[in-house]
Amino acid sequence: MANDMNIKNLKSLLFENIGIKQTIFKNIFWLVISEGISQLLKLTLIIYVARILGATEYGKFTFALAFVTLFAVFSDLGIFSIIIREFSRDKEKEKEFSSVLSLKILLSLGMLSLISMGSFFITPDPLIRRIIWILGVYIILSSFSGIIFAFFEARQRMEYEAWTKIFEALMIVGVGFFVILNFPSAKNLSYSYLFASFVALIFILIFFHFKFYQLRLSWNKSIWRNFLAMSWPLALAGVFGAIYAQIDSVMMGHWGQITQTGWYNAAHKIIGITLIPAGLIAASFFPALSSAFKESKEKLQKIWNYQMEIMIFLSVPLVVGGMTLAPRIIDFVYPGFSPSIFAFQILIVMTGIAFLCNPFHQVLIISNQQKRIFQINLYGAIINVILNLILIPKYSLYGAAITTVITFLLIFFLLFKFTIRLTSIKPLNMRALSSLIGACLASTLMYFVVSQPQIYQLNVFLSVSIGTAIYLICFLGYKKLVNQFLNFSWS
């Protein structure tokens, strides 16, 4: 009887939406499972790709992928976030999904045309140009999965998103390994991504059609106009966001620094993995923040504070530990890629800033301040392009990494400024300050332990585990002392 009760409680915890904290926990749990498994699988593939192909051939693939990613926003135009926001507030809006899907098809065709035309200007190499075309179709297919995931997130049913993401990752990694081990080349790897994403999308659409929503196309132009009217600031923000996220690799590749592009993206791939927790937490909190916005300022502030505390708790040790263990991490993941070490140490600072940006970014969106997001990303793109033009010719991949950090510092400052001015959120509060002090103190102690030769020279996973344990013990001890002496609660 007790076992039946435990199973029932576990099922309620992981498969039902009961309360705010439980729903957020459930969403985070499933997103961690999906992203943890899928990204670990993809990282394993990329590690072998870099090792088998080498920096130059790998650089061709990452250069092409960075170029097509610049255009990915044109297949979405900010609709992803608007779907989550609007559908989570009003379930009746779901009947408009058929029209949104047809709009998505038209946007994707437009994106593919832009990629095809742009490929003739960005590179004279016909092989790289062909890789660009292949990956352009792959990006389109992947973006269709994204719009399905937006529907899941609006309903706060991340368990379904988790299962479909894992399936998609298994397809890409399985086919990718087969190709890279038997027919190793950047072009063949691109074909494997395209084939796997096509098969995965077919199965995802079938599952969605019979389980959630009957797929059909509706060409309702008024619904298109409504969504585009809401999403265009996010679309332009996405354009400029893509610029400061990808333009460095595109510039290096365009200037013939293909090998350096390979080194840079080797570091950047690991950085992308470290950013996963921020994305998971943001995705889990966004529907709750959107709902709270309609209810009360107090509830919105409470949920926002909770999210910011988590971001601070994770970001500080990530930066300190990443900079300390960078040589060990790069040498373990990419033997022979030593130029990637310093780039990784610079970029890990960007990761910490990006964690802290997320709560501000989300509260501006749910407060209908999409135009400010556009403005922020515009400034970020301008400063990024200017600095890349100056620093990449002089310092190559290290100039690109420094530019990325400066760009994110500017973005954080602007997000903070507009949040104070345009929303009810009060970011400067004792809860955030207390968490920041605790994270800094615990990270300092973690650094002194991990940097000791006897710990530093251990297997990198063991060093990371020891550092994590030290940080958790110190941070939780600090919070306990604060609770005792200042009567300040973590919950």
Could you list the pLDDT tens digit for every one of the 491 residues in the chain?
455 555 555 555 555 555 666 666 776 777 777 777 887 888 788 888 888 888 788 888 888 888 888 777 777 766 777 777 777 666 777 777 788 788 888 888 888 888 888 888 888 888 888 999 999 899 888 888 777 777 777 766 777 777 788 888 888 889 989 998 898 888 899 999 899 888 888 888 888 888 777 777 878 788 778 777 777 666 676 677 777 677 788 888 878 788 888 888 888 888 888 887 787 788 778 777 877 887 788 888 888 888 899 999 999 999 999 999 999 999 888 888 888 999 999 999 999 999 999 999 888 888 888 778 888 888 888 999 999 999 999 999 999 999 999 999 999 999 999 999 988 888 888 888 888 999 999 999 999 999 999 999 988 889 999 999 999 999 989 888 877 765 544 44
Euclidean distance between CA atoms 204 and 164, whole angstroms: 6
Q: Please, are residues 399 and 391 in contact by the beta-carbon 8 Å criterion? A: yes
Q: CB-side exposure of 5: number of CA atoms within 13 Å?
A: 2
Q: What angle do CA 334, 338, 341 make, to 5 degrees?
A: 90
End-to-end CA distance of the chain: 32
Q: Please, are residues 70 and 119 in contact by the beta-carbon 8 Å criterion? A: no
Euclidean distance between CA atoms 58 and 21, whole angstroms: 43
The confidence score (pLDDT) of residue 22 equals 67
Question: What SS3 state is found at 185?
Answer: coil
The tokens describing 91, both together, are 């379930």
78: left (phi over 0), alpha (psi -120 to 50) or beta: left
336: left (phi over 0), alpha (psi -120 to 50) or beta: left
Question: What SS3 state is found at 177?
Answer: helix
Q: Which residues of 421-455 are buried (b: 16+ CB within 10 A; e: fewer)?
A: eebebebeeebbebbbebbeebbebbbebbeeeeb
Residue closest to 114 by CA, chosen among 127, 133, 97, 98: 133
Euclidean distance between CA atoms 50 and 45, whole angstroms: 9
The confidence score (pLDDT) of residue 491 equals 44
Q: Which residues of 354-392 are buried (b: 16+ CB within 10 A; e: fewer)?
A: bbbbbbbbbbbbbbebbebbbbbbbbbbebbbebbeebb
Residue-wise DSSP of 8-45: HHHHHHHH---SHHHHHHHHHHHHHHHHHHHHHHHHHH
Euclidean distance between CA atoms 92 and 263, whole angstroms: 49
3-state helix, strand, coil in the chain (%, to 5): 90, 0, 10
Euclidean distance between CA atoms 126 and 133, whole angstroms: 11
The confidence score (pLDDT) of residue 488 equals 44
Residue 217 has a CB neighbour count (10 Å cut-off) of 12
